[in-house]
Structures are given as structure tokens and as C-alpha cells.
Structure 1
Amino acid sequence: MKILSYPPRMAYILAFFALVNIAVSCTPSTPEAEMPILVENEGRYALLVDGEPFFVFGGQSANSSTWPNMLPRVWSAIESMHANTLEIPIYWEQFEPEPGKYDYSIIQMVLDQARERDVRLVLLWFATWKNGSNHYMPQWMKNDAKKYPNLMNKEGRYVDSPSPHATAAMEADAGAFTEFMRYLKKADPGHTVIMVQVQNEPGSWYSVRDYCPAAQQLFEQPVPEALLKAEVLEQLNIPAGARGTWEEVFGKDADEYFHAWHVASYIEYVAAAGKAVNPLPMFVNAALRDPLTNPPATHYESGGPTDNVIPIWKAAAPSIDIVAPDIYLRGDETVLKVIELYARGDNALMVPEVGDHAKYLYKVIEKGIGFASFGIDTRWGGAAGDRPNPLAEDYKLLAPMAGKLAQWSFEGRIQSVVEPEEGDPSQRINLGDWEAVIRFGKGQRLDLLQDQQPQNRNGKAMIIKLDENEFLAVGTTCRFTFNPIGKNEGKNWQYLKVMEGYYEKGEFQMIRILNGDQTDWGGPYIGEIPTLLHFTLGVRE
């Protein structure tokens, strides 16, 4: 098992995960509280908070909501959707209104209010980049375009995107971010803040890269050695041993790769400075490209951590623990491909922004560490009863078992499926000596399923293997049944017990035992409200 970021008590981790070989690349934690950390084992990740696995059932506020008069609506939204974590921006323009003068009031207000509600925080540093632009830079920087320039396009015009080659801007950002992280270390010894996002969807929309004379001079120089390592080139489909200028090594992709390297290097400078004083886990979010069609870089935000340049980001920005997809793309094939591409052996899957994508929550629980709905205080309404967030029922059921789910995911016990958008509504999961069969649809009986398919196929299901014959299952608009396979193949079987329930304080609490009509017509059925079932299966010899 490998520990990323900085560890809590080493003996605790050893005992908790019952693993032996641990590689440590970090410094001791402070005595006040255990530092949130990422741990990795065989390509699976867990986020540890207070020394225990934690899954982020999150909600992100709208961009302009971190103000005193807006926060009541944010907290109302968090409460009504049953989230355990709020993602909320911190604005550079508010934090450093004059050079070297800092205003900590907003940060302290958010910390205090989160603690009152027992909600964790992921703070989003809106600074040099926000959606490819520099709109959150302080006004004193915006007024000095010569010192803090935007990038130049091929036609020689400046566009609305900051240049990653602006050293003065990079140093100013690093200075402010370091002060922000230093204040967090002092004001938050209990680690209400569990992660920090550095920038927001960095890159550029209006030019593939910066074409100013200074950038062009860099472009014509040899590619940095750190990017020419064999393992990096292999991931970029470039022959090992390639050397030369950007164009000589990367050909038609040279402009985009050059830009990605320098955007990532800029953010590495900022992140490393902040991490040196307060080593919380850090991530950068990505405005995605279509992962199925390989579009040109002019069609998406060039330079950010899109799937095709993740190896470049990993090489350029080692202080960034995670590159994270913001998922607004549509369609099962597309979204599931994004999840596959970002759940890498060298990258924990964290989804800090989604639209109304509740269908894919279980897939992220299976493979990742967190999931958050965007714009919770404006898109879904902030008061209880106002246009409920589509994740609210799932969060209500699952957030109380966030620690268990995070542990099971880390151990590889979870498998999930989504309802196919067309064709056969059934899905199957191999569980060793059992095969779970999940039939999606709104029919209350198996013989009615085909006639009562929902108009929108948004069903989902997740199964956790507790033991060889014992499973938890949760889903929406689906029916669960099982087939004996493996050593059980060909044998008669039956439900020994099926319980409906919930988790409280880490323990399963039974609501009722299901039997008769609730199990005999093709297995237990779950409607549009997610339900947790506990199965114990047996074969009759």
C-alpha cells in the first residue's frame, strides 16, 4: 500500500487495513489532528479523514455564493440533500484585495458554519484560472495587463485567458495561496477542510496555446527531460528515446502538449508552495473533451487535465494528488468512458462537479473517493421542499455509511451497473460462486417488467460482497435475483434471509425481513427511491 500526501499514525493504518508493505513518502502529522491523506493499494484509493476511510457525498455551491448573505441558502441545500461535504470557492480577489494584504473573514466564516453543522469542506481556490479565464485575479492585477498578461493567439491578439508563462502572476498566486494554506493550518487544526482544489478548470478556450514571442521561444527549445521519460512517452504513444523540440517530438499535438506542460507547471509551482506549509490533499478539475471522438484541441479547453494529457500533468505537477473530471457530458458510453479514463492506477477518481447525473453515483462509489453535484443552491433550490436535488434520496441512504463504502471500495468489494439506454434492460455481476442478475424497469412483478419500462432509463444498482454468500445491494427501479455459478453451479438455491435496512454508526439496522411476494416474483424489487437490502444466500445439497 502506498500513502500519498501526509500520514496519520502509521501503526493505525497498518492495523486498519491489515496490510504489510507500505511505502511512505511524507512527513509526520501535526499533533493536533490526523492529516487527511490518500492511500493507494493495487490501483485502488481511499481518502482517510480522521484516520478512517471517507467517501465524499458532496454538493458544490454556485460560483458567487461564498458571501455572508448567500450562505444560508447554501447550507439549506446541503441539509436538504443530506450531503456530508460542501465544496465552496475561495476568491483570490476577495482574499488579497491589495498586494500583500489579506482578508481571512470569509474563510473563517465558512469554517465556523461548517463546524456548527458537522459538515466537511473542500475549498476551491479560484485564482489565476476559472474556466480558462483570469476573472478571479485581484483588481490590482487586472489593471496591470503588462505585468500580468493574457496569452496571445496565432493572429497576435490577446484573448481572455491568462498566460502560463507570466512569472509575476505565478509568483503572486503562489504567495496568496501559501498564505491561504498557512491560515488554514492555524485556523483548522481539526481538519474540517479535507481537500483543496487548486484553480478551477484551467486551460484556454480561445487559443490552443500562448503564441507570444517569449512562449514561441520556449516552444522552439528542446522538450524538458522530465517529459521524455520512457513511461510518460509510452502513455503518449511516442517512441522511447525521442528527443528534440516540441514539434519534433510531438508533431501535430505539439501545441496542446506544450500548453498542458506549462499550465501544469505553473499550477505545480502554486500547489507546491501551499503544500509546503499545509500538506492537505490537492486536486485540479478538468473541463472535459469528448473521450470517444478525439476532437482537435480547438474544440475544448486546451491545456487543462483532459484525458489525453493526464500523463503530462502527472509529470509536470507531482504536488497535485488528483486530476478530476467535471462531468457534464451525456450518454452512458461517454460518461462511463470518462470514469474509466480518470480511475487510473496513478490517479484516484474524484468527481467534483456533475449535473443531474445521479445515475452514475454508484459507479463512482465503486471506483472513486467522492462525487458532488454542482450549483446546489441555485439549480435545485436551497430550502427543504424546493425542487429536490436528484441525489438527495441516495445521499440520505448512503451518507451514513460513507466510511463503510469507502473501505469496501478500497478493498475491491463493490461492483455496480447502470440501466442500459437501449436494448435488454438486464445486467449481470459475477460474485464468485454467485451471479447477480439485475433487471431494470418499473414492473412490480417480473412478468410485467418488459411492459413497464420507464421512459428515461436512469436505473442503477450496486452490490457489495460481504462474504461468499452474503451481500448488500442498493438500487433504483430494479429487481435483484441470483444464479448459482462456480462451485455452486447446477445446484438448487434459495434466499436464507433478505433484510431491508439502513446503516447507523457503522452497523446495519434491520427495518424488516422480506419474504413471500416481496421475494418470490423474480427477487426483491426496488422502486425510484433507493433501498438497501442485505442478502444471505444458500444452496440445497
Structure 2
Amino acid sequence: MRRLLFLVAMLWLAVAASSAARAATSLPRVVHEQGRHALLVDGRPYTVLAAQLHNSSAWPAMLPGVWNDVLALHPNTLEAPVYWEQFEPARGRFDTRHVDALVEGAREHGLRLVILWFGSWKNGQMHYVPEWIKSDPARYPRVLDEHGQPVDDLSTHATSNLEADKAAFAALMAHIERIDGDRHTVIMVQVENEPGTIGTVRDHSPAAEEAFLGNVPSDLAKALGKPAGKTWTDVFGADADEQFNAYGIARYIDQVAAAGKAAYPLPMYVNTWLRYKGKHLPGNDYPSGGATWNVLDLWRASAPHIDLIGTDLYSTDYNEFTKVVGQYTRADNPPWISETGYDAGNAPYLFHVLANGGVGFSVFGVDNDPDTPERRKATQAHARNFALVDSINEQVAAAAYRGTLRASVEQRGQPKRTIELDNHWHADVSYGAPRWGDAPAELPGTPDATGHVLFVPLGADEYLVAGFDARVEFGRDHADGRRGQLLRVEEGSYVEGRWKSIRWWNGDETDYGLNFTDKPVLLKVRLGSY
């Protein structure tokens, strides 16, 4: 009998260990490999197609009214804030009802969840810290400006501020682990929101002044290739104040993230109020010390517990949008549009982000806005993209991780573009061509520059092609003396992971290129040579 009990106990321990190993293996995580990146969910690359709630919409009493607006966008992920002031209304007392409602709601509607921690910062200020912190500046000191006056930010040079945020965030992550550690509804967490300082370039409190007059930390100087044993002004000159502030904020947030990961190690990112659109004054045009492009090297060196730096990119201009994506596409960081505007004009850039190895795209403010023609147009533009991409999420995310995804996004005044593919192939993409027949010598482009096309390689000379308001014609360079041809074009979809064709295109559907309209269509194209 004892031997039987022993064997049962050993079997139980083996099963428990196996379950723990599976849970650890399938825990969402971010991987970086040879300049390529992926967010892994359930062990596979995952493209985040997110709807983000307005700032004050995530309260349990408000949530029933948001779901129709959220689901209209066809997202696979919800982004919603957790407010420090609500989560810890009294020091050391945590109210988890808000988090529970978000997790339960996401599960009920078949969505993954990204939690946004509105802690020490929200849009460069401290508006979401608890009342017990706001009302006790002696214990939880503020940033002081150059005149010694307090501004609406917690000082990163006060240990009390850091320890309070760390404790609250760790409690949040521990609770998420308790209610979701075996389900992984929550796949990622944003640490703070658009951190930085508004009203001054840097903190001038006594502790900050002492640190600023000292030397740049040796590990940071080494990481940035700067001389050691020099002051901030010696090393950074006129940019010293902003670089110093960025270091203080990055180190503060990294320690908050580390405390959270010690409780439950989900992927964590920081979002950024950008330095763009001609803005250049830190503390005025944008929060000083956030992860803007000019301090991005410092941030990546100073915050190792932050997996991604996201961009809150509110632009519909082709040059501006693609410039910012380029600034944040790095060997240590993929493009991640942590927020973009609810505007039809920025919807096509989803394809550009993915083709640059991006991990996702989040549309802000999806709920409770007035129903206007512009709003309906934006909903349609983002929803058709999200529905189409999510139908091939596994293929898209894997190709983005491999670096083989290609895309074309229409730029005003440039209605033609050639996309280089593999094995001597290219795709000529044109915008404004008729749906059938020869295109004019000078194409007009589409009226609102809405054309965009995605090319997802499936194997040698085989692609998934999807897009809107564009014509695609495949060509071959003949460098090997062979000519190219379309072998087959199938319209279809993936059903339970398997391709299901509904018809083959030929004749009128292929003689003048593959013509995509404003309706979502997914094609599997097989190319050949002779």
C-alpha cells in the first residue's frame, strides 16, 4: 500500500512538473534574434491587432457599453488601462475588481488583453497616482523646475516614489498570474504611459542636482561608446539635461518592470509620446526623458527589463509615418505601433509596419465617440485590415519574424511601385488603374491614397497576396534566361489552419494583373518559370 501511495505521489509530482514546464514554455514572451523580433503567444509568433479604450473607459461599470465598438474593429486584442489610483486606493490595500472585469470581458469576447499600467506617468504627468501620494509631497516629492518650483511629475530621484510604484506594480502582476497564469489572456503589459517630464527639461531637486553634477555612470558611458569619468555636460553638451532626465526615467521604469517580472514575467513595453512633426523642445513639445528617437540608444542600454519600445504614432502623412517606423526599427527593437489615431488615413500603414518586422498595431479611442461619416469610414478601414490580417495571423507573424514579408503602401503622387521578391521575381504595384483593361500611361492614384498590398511567402515561388485598391502584376528579371508565368491564382481562406480554395482566377481576373478593390480578398499565387 505504501509503495502504491509512493508511486501515485511520484506520478502526481511528474504531472505537476510537466504542467509547470508547459506553462513556462507557453508563457508569452518577446524574442530577438539576429535583428529579427517576434511576440510569441502560445509558442507561436503573434501579430497584435488591437483596439484601445479611451482613458476612462476601463471601469467595470463602463465596460458593458464598450464591447460593440471594440468588436466592430475586428481586433484580436484589447488594450485597456489599469489605474494606480483605483488599484491601490489606500497604501498597501489593493482593489482587483477592475483587473478581474477586464480579464473576464476579454475572455468572454474571445480577445487577448494588453494591460496598460497608468502608474507614475500618464502623458508625461502624474495624474493617475493615488490620492495618498498626491496629498503628501513631503514623502513623495515632485520634480522641481529650474526655478525650484514643483511640476506635475514624481521625482525619479526619490526612493519613496520608486518603491511605491514597484510595490503596486508587483502586486498587479502577482494578481494577473493568480487569475490568468494558466490561460494567458493577458499577453503583454505596458509599464507607465508616455513617461517623461512636462514643464521642465529635467529635475532640479537637490538629489537630482547632485547626480547631474556627478559623472555619467560608467556602464552607460561604455554602452554608448562615451568616455568614462566625465560629467553629463562634458559628455552630452547642450543635450545633457534631456539625456540625464531620460536616464533617470529609464532606470526608474526598468526597476518597476523588474519588480513586476519577478512576480509574473510577461513581456513589457514602454510607449512613447514622439518627438516628430517638427517638434523639438523637450518638456514643452513632448515629455522630456521619454523614449524619443534622440535618446533611444540610452533607453535601450538603461532598461533591460523592457522588451519593446512602442510608438504612439498619430500621423496620416506617408513620409512622417514611415520615417518614425524607420527610427524604431532596430536590431534591438521592432516596430510596435502602441497607439495610432482612429483615422482611415493611417490604416494602410499596418502593412508597412508588418513588412518591417513589426509585432503589431493598436488603434486608440475605439469606444463611445459620436457616429459621424468620418468615424464610420475609419472603422471600415481598420476593420477590413484587421479581419484580413487576423485570418492569416500565423502566416503573417511568422513571415515578419523571418524578415520575408513585403508590402506596398500608396504614397500620394507616386502611383507605381516595384516590390522586389525572391528568386528573380518582383511585383509591380499600381494605384488608380481600372479594375479591368489597360492602365493609362499616367495613373491618377486613388482619391484618398488608400491602396496597400501585402505579400506573404509560403514557399518557393508561392505567395499569399492581399490588399485593397491596387493592381499587382508579377514579373521576372530573366537573369537566368528563364521567363516567368502565373501558374495558378486561387481565391480562398484558411479554415482550421488549412487553405480552402473557393475559386481559381483566370482570364478576365488575371489578364490585366490582380486587381484588388475595397473588398477584402485573399489570393494564393503560384509562380513558375520556363
Distance 2:370 2:329 in 1: 28
Per the TM alignment, residue 448 of structure 1 is displaced from its structure 2 partner at its CA by: 4.3
Q: Which amino acid aligns with 1:494?
A: Q
1:416-431 mapped onto 2 (5 Å cutoff):
416-431=407-422
Q: Give the one of 432, 438, 442 matched to 2:429.
A: 438
Per the TM alignment, residue 36 of structure 1 is displaced from its structure 2 partner at its CA by: 0.6
1:332-411 mapped onto 2 (5 Å cutoff):
332-355=318-341, 356=343, 357-366=346-355, 367-379=357-369, 388-411=379-402
Distance 1:178 1:504 in 2: 40
Per the TM alignment, residue 424 of structure 1 is displaced from its structure 2 partner at its CA by: 4.3
Residue 244 (structure 1) aligns with: 230
Per the TM alignment, residue 531 of structure 1 is displaced from its structure 2 partner at its CA by: 2.1
Q: Which amino acid aligns with 1:538?
A: G
Residue 218 (structure 1) aligns with: 211
**SS state at 1:64 partner:** coil
Q: Is the 8 A contact 1:77 1:381 kept in 2?
A: no
Per the TM alignment, residue 205 of structure 1 is displaced from its structure 2 partner at its CA by: 2.4
Distance 1:381 1:56 in 2: 26
Q: Which amino acid aligns with 1:295?
A: H
Residue 201 (structure 2) aligns with: 208
What are the superposed Cα offsets for residues 219-255 of structure 1, whole Å, 9 maximum, x if unpaired? 10111112111x423xxxxxx4353110011101100
Q: Is the 8 A contact 2:431 2:443 kept in 1?
A: no
CA shift in 2, pair 1:498/1:31, >3 Å:
closer
1:467-486 mapped onto 2 (5 Å cutoff):
467-485=459-477
1:320-339 mapped onto 2 (5 Å cutoff):
320-339=306-325
Distance 2:255 2:76 in 1: 31
**SS state at 1:315 partner:** helix
1:61-80 mapped onto 2 (5 Å cutoff):
61-80=53-72
CA shift in 2, pair 1:486/1:343, >3 Å:
farther
CA shift in 2, pair 1:143/1:442, >3 Å:
farther
CA shift in 2, pair 1:404/1:451, >3 Å:
closer
**SS state at 1:68 partner:** coil
Per the TM alignment, residue 379 of structure 1 is displaced from its structure 2 partner at its CA by: 4.5
Distance 2:370 2:500 in 1: 31
1:18-417 mapped onto 2 (5 Å cutoff):
31=23, 34-189=26-181, 190-229=183-222, 231-233=223-225, 240-290=226-276, 295-297=280-282, 298-355=284-341, 356=343, 357-366=346-355, 367-379=357-369, 388-417=379-408
**SS state at 1:461 partner:** strand
Residue 16 (structure 1) aligns with: none
Q: Which amino acid aligns with 2:206?
A: P
Per the TM alignment, residue 152 of structure 1 is displaced from its structure 2 partner at its CA by: 1.7
Q: Which amino acid aligns with 2:291?
A: P
**SS state at 2:392 partner:** helix
Distance 1:480 1:296 in 2: 43
Q: Is the 8 A contact 1:500 1:510 kept in 2?
A: yes
Calculate percent identity across the aligned residue pairs: 39
CA shift in 2, pair 1:510/1:486, >3 Å:
same
Q: Which amino acid aligns with 1:78?
A: V
Distance 1:129 1:177 in 2: 13
**SS state at 2:430 partner:** strand
Residue 15 (structure 2) aligns with: none
Per the TM alignment, residue 154 of structure 1 is displaced from its structure 2 partner at its CA by: 1.6
Residue 489 (structure 2) aligns with: 498
Distance 1:51 1:224 in 2: 38
Q: Is the 8 A contact 1:425 1:441 kept in 2?
A: no
Residue 449 (structure 2) aligns with: 457
What are the superposed Cα offsets for residues 246-271 of structure 1, whole Å, 9 maximum, x if unpaired? 00111011000000000011111111
Distance 1:528 1:427 in 2: 21
What are the superposed Cα offsets for residues 486-540 of structure 1, whole Å, 9 maximum, x if unpaired? 5455x4432211112222322222222111111112x010012332211112234
Per the TM alignment, residue 29 of structure 1 is displaced from its structure 2 partner at its CA by: 5.2
Q: Is the 8 A contact 2:412 2:445 kept in 1?
A: no
Q: CA RMSD in A?
A: 2.2
Q: Is the 8 A contact 2:413 2:445 kept in 1?
A: no
CA shift in 2, pair 1:504/1:150, >3 Å:
farther
Q: Which amino acid aligns with 1:328?
A: Y
What are the superposed Cα offsets for residues 92-139 of structure 1, whole Å, 9 maximum, x if unpaired? 110000010110111111111211222100000001000001010011
Once the two structures are overlaid, the 10-residue window that deviates more, 319-328 or 464-473, is 464-473
Q: Is the 8 A contact 2:451 2:468 kept in 1?
A: yes
Q: How many residues align?
A: 501
Distance 1:290 1:538 in 2: 45
Q: Is the 8 A contact 1:404 1:506 kept in 2?
A: no
Once the two structures are overlaid, the 10-residue window that deviates more, 45-54 or 149-158, is 149-158
Once the two structures are overlaid, the 10-residue window that deviates more, 360-369 or 118-127, is 360-369
Residue 6 (structure 2) aligns with: none
**SS state at 1:228 partner:** helix
Once the two structures are overlaid, the 10-residue window that deviates more, 161-170 or 357-366, is 161-170
Distance 1:228 1:452 in 2: 52
What are the superposed Cα offsets for residues 457-509 of structure 1, whole Å, 9 maximum, x if unpaired? 121111122233211111111001011125455x4432211112222322222
Distance 1:29 1:374 in 2: 36
Once the two structures are overlaid, the 10-residue window that deviates more, 194-203 or 412-421, is 412-421
What are the superposed Cα offsets for residues 338-385 of structure 1, whole Å, 9 maximum, x if unpaired? 111212111132211111221110122221111110011134869xx9
Distance 1:241 1:221 in 2: 14
Q: Which amino acid aligns with 1:411?
A: R
**SS state at 1:352 partner:** strand
Distance 2:128 2:495 in 1: 42
Q: Which amino acid aligns with 1:377?
A: D
Residue 520 (structure 1) aligns with: 511
Distance 2:329 2:444 in 1: 35
Once the two structures are overlaid, the 10-residue window that deviates more, 256-265 or 446-455, is 446-455
Per the TM alignment, residue 451 of structure 1 is displaced from its structure 2 partner at its CA by: 5.6
Per the TM alignment, residue 58 of structure 1 is displaced from its structure 2 partner at its CA by: 0.9
**SS state at 2:354 partner:** helix
**SS state at 1:520 partner:** coil
Distance 2:217 2:521 in 1: 53
Once the two structures are overlaid, the 10-residue window that deviates more, 403-412 or 116-125, is 403-412
Per the TM alignment, residue 431 of structure 1 is displaced from its structure 2 partner at its CA by: 2.8
Per the TM alignment, residue 389 of structure 1 is displaced from its structure 2 partner at its CA by: 4.8
Q: Which amino acid aligns with 2:455?
A: I
Q: Is the 8 A contact 1:443 1:453 kept in 2?
A: no
CA shift in 2, pair 1:386/1:328, >3 Å:
closer
Per the TM alignment, residue 453 of structure 1 is displaced from its structure 2 partner at its CA by: 2.9
Distance 2:264 2:405 in 1: 33
Q: Is the 8 A contact 1:39 1:48 kept in 2?
A: yes
Once the two structures are overlaid, the 10-residue window that deviates more, 45-54 or 56-65, is 45-54
Once the two structures are overlaid, the 10-residue window that deviates more, 165-174 or 145-154, is 145-154
